[in-house]
Structure 1
Amino acid sequence: MSILSDDLLDTIRSRAAGYDRENIFFAEDLDDLRAAGYLTALVPRSLGGLGLSLREVVHEQIRLATAAPATALAVNMHLVWNGVAKTMLDRGDDALEFVLRESAAGETYALAISEAGNDLMLFGSTTDAVPQPDGAYEFTGTKIFTSLSPAWTRLGLFGLDSTSPDAPKLVHAVVARDAPGITIVEDWDTLGMRASQSNSTRLEKVRAEPSRIIRRLDPGPNPDLLIFAIFANFEILLSAVYTGIGRRALELAVANATKRTSAKNAGAAKSLDPDVRWKIADAAIAFDGILPQLDAVAGDVDEQVDRGDQWFRALVGLKIRATETAQFVVNQAVRVSGGATYFAGNELGRLYRDVLAGSFHPSNEDSAHATVATALLGPLPQ
């Protein structure tokens, strides 16, 4: 089942350069995606959504990213929360069923995990989570890279409770946009992924109601289903976006090689140049290796395959391969497409800027290699 029609993708593609140039949010894209039902793609039909699998949404996100990477990346954050809720519900945990119901009713979710200087990611937080007498929590801190900043209505976040008798505990919760104490800091002026408008979010005693406290977990690596669900959906859907960038770059490389000519070779098309052909083939060979891995990992989440302690190895490996391969494909596409890609407004030049963001998303190269080494060799001695 495909939600995103070719006409819709063409319309979204036509706006991408303007959003990037003006550094503005993809408001019209979001309206069109909502009208198409895309924001309910992962919501089960029984709860009012379209009922797609994670694997199916991966393929939709690849297609969306070929048209507008920043739009796809930002929408990802809403889809991640829906994927988390679905992953948990599929396994008998309804703690986040309200996310699916609210998404079906029109709420838009954003993800607030990243914090400046915090390389622990899900295993620690610099945001304070202060317990209240009625079971609520108040969060104080600053979250960075909060995609969908102009549009989200629900924010999934976490912070550290260091005062309760059983402290420390990492507290995961959801807050509403109209909760007092939330400030959107308009600081998103970046090299790429500009339309995502992933501004920082300042929290000052922001209250999460008792019914919206999802988990209280020990800091550090944790086998809890919530952590697996966040990690799996984030890494898989993120990999889909960068795979889409790679696909589009390869398409542009082929088109540009066919259109460009060589004075040195009597006006022959660049597509007849052996060096150009080798570079395009090299990019295609690398790109073709991502799709089967992405399909397999997403499918195993859908089918609840038990990979045991090798799950995180698979997820970080996928993310690193997808983002680094996308960067390689874009680089090869630029090399065969010539100096025109260096001009502002060139689509391939924009992909070159957008694809760099893949290096900054978790898991980064160092943490991914540490995760895989631990899975294969065991943990380092303390």
Structure 2
Amino acid sequence: MAADPASFTDRQVLSDELLATIRGRAAIHDRENSFFTEDLADLAATGYLRAMVPADLGGHGLTLRETIREQARLAGAAPATALAVNMHHVWVGVARYLHERGDGSLDWLLAEAARGEVFGFGYSEAGNDLVLLGSRTEARPDGEGGYRFHGRKIFTSNSPGWTRLGVMGLDDTDPDDPRIVHAFITRDGGGFQILDDWDTLGMRASQSCTTVLDGAHAPADRVMRRLVPGPGLDPYVLGIFTSFELLLAGVYTGIADRALHLAVEAAGRRTSMKTGKAYSQDPDIRWRIASAALALDGIWPQLDQVAGEIDALVDRGAGYFRATAGLKVRATETARYVVDEAIRCSGGSTYFNRSELGRLYRDVLAGIFHPSDDESAHAQVAQSLLGPVDAG
């Protein structure tokens, strides 16, 4: 059964004043390639990092759908800040997903998030197109139910800020029964090195640095799953996949919202020498802005619908992989299109680094690199319709 849009609420944690303050810092962080330290402190102080923690556990109790809406607002102010904070919300979203379905294995995470711990996402690996289904990182048993991890994680957003890092690796000590191990390490536990290698085209303030795991330890009570490699429907994996894809889609849709707003402002502000009229009266500009709006208008109903179904505990099973992977791709590709049209409507000044639209143009490009990418989303949909590819 689908969620009823009429039941949707619009609770917010982020004030317009705070968003304006964060927007004022974004260009500086982008120019200096610096971390959003002040933003993180302000967001923590306002309780935003516990937005999705249930109220009875010390949080604001926002739904996934509401948090996606808030993330879009934050992304409109500072995309890199929103992207990095997203990874914390993903883990809280996973814990919330399990908690609401009667699985308390991550309730400790909800409690720690309520107390101010900041969670990072250390899963991505260079060349690992299996994503959640395999790992290049070694998970070595410690003999007491815990693991030490050895490997290299890339795109670890919020590298300077996390206090808890979710990681996964492969335990192949029994070649006949290898397992993907999902666990959490702590910042004060050591056994890792964060490289100073984040010098990128966009999303610079996220400081998504490479993390080298060299014996980082997760004790037995922080080992969450030991799963057979390959596809499966464990709620832990389903919670990660859906939370990651939908929150990510919200960030990039928020970038598109902001770009469209800036394009409308520019069209009203700029005047044509040829006609003497504002560009808002130019039929070509009007067509481009309308085209961008039409594309963007199709994304929000999808986000509300799918996130609303997860909030309503609708069970789609494996269907959520297809639904959320496809939505992430549509959202990020639509955001790129909207920003591109906004640039075309706003003139050559957007080519300068001082332009907010120019920065959004660079930031929005990062959407193509997050899983699920275009290829894996197509493979997911093809498998759902045609079955697996013949191994022979």
Report the TM-score range of the alignment, normalised by the length of the smaller protein.
over 0.9
After TM superposition, the structure 1 = structure 2 runs for residues 246-265 of structure 1, keeping only pairs within 5 Å, are 246-265=256-275
| 2:33 equivalent to 1:17 | no
Tell me whether 326-335 or 165-174 shows the greater mean CA deviation. Answer: 165-174
SS at match of 1:163: coil
In the other structure, the counterpart of 2:371 is: 362
Offset at residue 165 of structure 1 (A): 6.7
Matched, 1:101 2:111: yes
3-state SS of 1:362 partner: coil
**Stretch moving more, 137-146 or 305-314:** 305-314
Q: Partners of 1:192 and 1:104 in 2: how far apart?
A: 31
Q: CA deviation at 1:378?
A: 1.5
| Structure 1 segment 171-182 matched on structure 2, within 5 A | 171-182=181-192
How does 1:220-239 map onto structure 2 within 5 Å? 220-239=230-249
Unaligned 5+ runs, structure 2:
1-10
Deviations 1:311-368 (A, max 9, x none): 1110111101100000000000000101000001200000000000000000000110
Amino acid in the other structure paired with 2:172: S
Measure, in 2, the Cα distance between the counterparts of 1:180 and 1:322.
37
Equivalent-residue separation in structure 2 for 1:164 and 1:380 (angstroms): 28
Are residues 1:35 and 2:35 paired?
Answer: no
CA–CA separation in structure 1 for the residues paired with 2:189 and 2:176: 27
CA contact (8 A) 1:128 1:159 kept: yes
Equivalent in 274, 277, 280 of residue 286 of structure 2: 277
Residues 131 and 164 in structure 1, CA contact (< 8 A), matched pair in contact too:
no
> Structure 1 stretches (4+) deviating beyond 4 angstroms?
none
Query: Does the CA-based 8 Å contact 2:166-2:185 persist in structure 1?
Result: yes
Q: Does 1:144 align with 2:154?
A: yes
CA distances 1:109-165 after superposition (whole Å, capped 9, x unpaired): 000110111111101100000112111111000100001101100000000001037
Q: Which residue number corresponds to residue 295 of structure 2?
A: 286
Contact in 2 for aligned 1:156/1:173 (Cα 8 Å)? yes
- Structure 2 residue aligned with 1:59, among 57, 69, 73? 69
The alignment status of 1:340 with 2:349, answered yes or no, reads yes
CA distance in 1, matches of 2:303, 2:176: 40
Q: Which residue of 2 aligns with 1:116?
A: 126
Q: How many residues align?
A: 381
Which residue in the other structure is 2:7 paired with?
none
Is the partner of 1:28 in helix, strand or coil? Answer: helix
Whether the 8 Å CA contact 1:70–1:195 is kept in 2: the answer is: yes
Amino acid at match of 2:84: A
1:308 aligns with 2:328: no
Q: Note if contact 1:134-1:210 (Cα within 8 Å) is conserved in structure 2.
A: yes
Q: Which amino acid is the alignment partner of residue 194 of structure 1? A: R
Consecutive unaligned residues in structure 1, runs of 5 or more:
none
The two structures, once aligned, show a CA RMSD in angstroms of 0.8
Q: How much does 1:166 deviate? A: 5.4
Could you tell me which residue of structure 1 aligns to residue 339 of structure 2? 330
Deviations 1:195-245 (CA, angstroms, capped at 9, x unpaired) = 000001111111110000000001111111111000000000000000000
* Equivalent position SS for 1:178: helix
Deviation at 1:308, TM superposition (A): 2.9
Q: What SS does the aligned partner of 1:129 have?
A: strand
CA distance in 1, matches of 2:348, 2:180: 50
Letter in structure 2 aligned against 1:105: R
In the other structure, the counterpart of 1:92 is 102
* TM-score (structure 1 length as normaliser): 0.99
Q: Secondary structure at the match of 1:192?
A: coil
Match of 1:242 in 2: 252
Match of 1:69 among 64, 71, 79: 79
Amino acid of the structure 2 residue aligned with 1:328: Y
Measure how far apart 1:247 and its partner are. Answer: 0.2
Would you say 1:318 and 2:336 are equivalent positions? no
Contact 2:146 2:218 in 1 (8 A): yes
Matched, 1:45 2:50: no
Q: CA deviation at 1:268?
A: 1.0
1:163 aligns with 2:173: yes
Taking every aligned residue pair, what percent have the same amino acid on both sides? 61
Which amino acid letter does the alignment assign opposite residue 356 of structure 1?
L
SS of residue in 1 equivalent to 2:211: strand
Q: Which amino acid counterpart does residue 255 of structure 1 have in structure 2?
A: E
Q: Specify the SS of the correspondent of 2:140.
A: strand
CA contact (8 A) 1:112 1:156 kept: yes
Judge conservation of contact 1:283–1:332 (CA < 8 Å) in 2: yes
TM-score w.r.t. the length of structure 2 is 0.96
Question: How far apart in 2 are the matches of 1:259 and 1:211?
Answer: 59
